[in-house]
Amino acid sequence: MPLRDFVRTRCPSLLKEYRPSRLLFNGHLQTAYGAYGDFSTVDKVVYDRKLIRLMDGGTLSLDFTPPDDERRLPDDTPIVVTFHGLTGGSNEAYIRSIIVPATAPREEGGLGYRAVVVNFRGCAGTPVTSEQLYHCGNTDDARQALMYIAKRYPRARLIGLGFSLGANVLIRYLAQEGDESRLVAGCALGCPWDLQSVSYKLSNGAWIDRMYSRTLAHNMATLIKRNVDKLANNPKLSEALPYLLALPAPTLWDFDTYYAYEEKALANRTFESPGDFYRWASSHYVLSDVRVPLLAINADDDPIVRDLPTDVGGNPLVSLVVTRGGGHLGWFASEKEGVVMRRRRTRWVKQPVLEWLRAVGEELAVDLPRGRGLCANGEFTTEFGRTDLGYKELEGGGKFRGETLRIEGMVSGF
């Protein structure tokens, strides 16, 4: 069955009109509400955090739900592997709004799945233990996290779910791995796609565009300042950090001029400019290489994402849905609640994503396990033929409530 028909029949909510909440009638209001609204009383979730050390010395935290000691699930239960936005994490309301119903028991109307949020270096309380953080083009951390998850649950289908920057990472991983992907399918929400276009237009547009750019750059600068002692050990970054931290109100373009583009130049490629780096890091240009079903959803009034790959790279395995309204990771709608008919705001996008997760988690014909074989390399677990990447599990972590995790100095929702 063609993917277009598969999406139409398995995700019927996508065929219904999305009607934004009347008070959040444009993309700016939708985005602002996602960033500043109070979501501490909804979508409550308990995570069990696992820490893994990577071969370059970095650390990732993987937050699983439900914890095994609270609800034991079969080993072949599908797992939603989630990648957050720019400086987000498992505490983000946009993540909880989907993984809570995805992991709720079937008898309570949920999918009964397992979920794990991959928190990037320094995010959601993850310690920074190396001289590098992460950036929009880095897929190796996602790759190593998937190695750990696949080793822990070899019989489970792994389904990728990415938000904003995490969606870009997810799509690039799928394109790079091709038929070797450990993920059987993917879902990308609010993907920025053409990163050069996003950064340039936000940094050089109207005042409100520059406000978004400075908010995103502020979040990253805050993360860097908290870990500057570790990052200063990176010889290339040690030259760039003083300039970056001295800027009174850096934009996203400033940030990548001084940070991501410089940091990546240490690896196997040197970039001539931030634009060159952005083109390399964008998921916009790699869709033709994706080899598993991928559903992407964007809003036509997203104030951050402007240019969409409407041709989906000519790939029949990719479906792009563009809604009228929704902002950046918002998609808030109103629904009536209780006998007094009080209205509450819910995220419309939750329903089509759950329909997609159910379809690819239960109907897709796949062979397991997927990806390259795993092997021991000293105290690390690596892949056959790729011994430069690997992980080992650390002590620590443990259970915590996702809705109570607060990261001071950061603007949520991105």
Amino acid occupying residue 409: G
- Active-site residue, 164 included: yes
In angstroms, the CA 22 to CA 9 distance is: 29
Longest dimension (CA), the chain: 63
Structure tokens at 135: 């950036």
Report the amino acid identity of residue 353.
Answer: V
**Dihedral, CA of residue 40, residue 44, residue 46 and residue 51, to nearest 10:** -50
- Asked if 133 and 232 touch (Cβ cutoff 8 Å), the reply is no
What's the Rg (C-alpha) of the chain? 20
Catalytic residue (choose from 194, 302, 319, 412): 302
The answer to whether the CB of 48 falls within 8 A of the CB of 398 is: yes
Query: CB–CB of 220/259 below 8 Å?
Result: yes
Pairing type for strands 318-323 and 294-299 reads parallel
Question: Which candidate in 43, 301, 328, 412 is catalytic?
Answer: 328
Identify whether 302 is a catalytic site residue: yes
Write down the catalytic residue from 61, 164, 181, 283.
Answer: 164
Q: Catalytic site residue 256?
A: no
Cα angle value 131/170/106 (rounded, 5°): 120
Backbone dihedral angles phi then psi of residue 344, each to the nearest 5 degrees: -125, 155
**Among 320, 229, 333, 240, CA closest to 283:** 320
**What does DSSP say about strands 185-189 and 158-163: parallel, antiparallel, or unpaired?**
parallel
- Annotated catalytic residues are 164, 302, 328
